[in-house]
Amino acid sequence: MLNIIRYTFYDLLRSRWSLFYMLFFLLTGFTLLFLSNDLGSAIISLMNILLILAPLVGTIFGVIFYYNSADFTELLLAQPLKRSTIFLGQLYGLCISLSLSLLLGLGIPFLIYGLLSSPVIFDFLILLVDGVILTFIFVGLAYIIALKNDNKVKGFGYALLMWLIFAVVYDGLLLIVLVQFQEYPLDTFSLAATVFNPIDLSRILILLKLDISALLGYTGALYQKFFGTLLGLVLSFVFLGVWTSIPTGLVLRIARKKDF
């Protein structure tokens, strides 16, 4: 598996799109820090970009990489290798490559601007961890969609629809439900609904660590009461870990049964 991870990793490092991905965050980080000259404000602005872009790029790269490497994957399947070794190697290689581009693109400008001596360093680390976790989650979900759809157009369309649901539609539907049933106690429902969307869960973690949950009103107080504690923080990362492991397990299950 390590050889496949290494091959996939180096293959993607040579890709200009991985370089563009890193350069985008590099330029964005320098621009935000130059305009605001405050690490805390830059992290807040960067959060809104990262929580949308990281899942989107992970989704697109996951689908494109699977279809572009289909011939090579069939060649590997003809060798005495386990399917779990092949697909996990490709999946992890892609995730590590994208995560490295993200970490370098965001880490370099903030380190230059004195992040190590700033009190918001822990908030920035939470942001980076969330970005890496979201990359693993959405690359895995995209791989599942690609494995289930041999038609490239359908696979790409379903993958973008999946990202759109998590990034936009889910929040809209949740807001409609909360407004329509505002007379009822929806505390437990709100917390449970947040857990079922990794983007929302990551956003709330960052907002709470930046101490701006008051801007969310009553909902912010509710999230602060649960997610703001040490137990809430641990459970949040546990839920994100479950979100990371479920796509990986489904990829293995589908790959073992799929007839190539």
Helix (H) or strand (E) holding 72, with range, is helix 70-77
Using CA atoms, how far residue 57 sits from 28, 158, 185, 242, 248, in Å, is 16, 15, 37, 21, 18
For the segment 42-59, the average pLDDT, to the nearest whole number, is 88
Say what the pLDDT of residue 181 is. Answer: 78
Could you tell me which residue, 3 or 143, shows the higher pLDDT? 143
User: What torsion, rounded to 10 degrees, do the Cα atoms 176, 207, 205, 193 define?
Assistant: -10
The amino acid at 211: D
What confidence tens digit (pLDDT) does each residue in 51-97 have?
899 999 999 999 999 998 888 888 888 888 888 888 888 899 999 99
Average model confidence (pLDDT) across the chain: 83
* Cβ-based burial of 62 (10 A; exposed 0-12, middle 13-18, buried ≥19): buried
**Contact 135/128 with Cβ under 8 angstroms?**
no
Could you tell me which residue, 127 or 220, shows the higher pLDDT? 127
Say what the pLDDT of residue 165 is. Answer: 93
pLDDT-derived band at 137 (thresholds 50, 70, 90) equals very high
Please state the pTM of the whole predicted model: 0.89
Say what the pLDDT of residue 119 is. Answer: 77
Say what the pLDDT of residue 134 is. Answer: 94
Say what the pLDDT of residue 191 is. Answer: 76
What confidence tens digit (pLDDT) does each residue in 156-199 have?
999 999 999 998 898 888 878 877 877 777 767 777 788 888 99
Say what the pLDDT of residue 40 is. Answer: 75
Radius of gyration for the chain, computed over Cα atoms and rounded to the nearest angstrom? 19
The amino acid at 251: V
Could you tell me which residue, 228 or 115, shows the higher pLDDT? 115
For the segment 45-54, the average pLDDT, to the nearest whole number, is 88
Say what the pLDDT of residue 14 is. Answer: 75
What confidence tens digit (pLDDT) does each residue in 198-242 have?
998 888 777 776 655 444 544 455 566 666 666 667 778 888 899
**Contact 101/107 with Cβ under 8 angstroms?**
no
Structural tokens at position 221: 């107080």
Say what the pLDDT of residue 102 is. Answer: 92
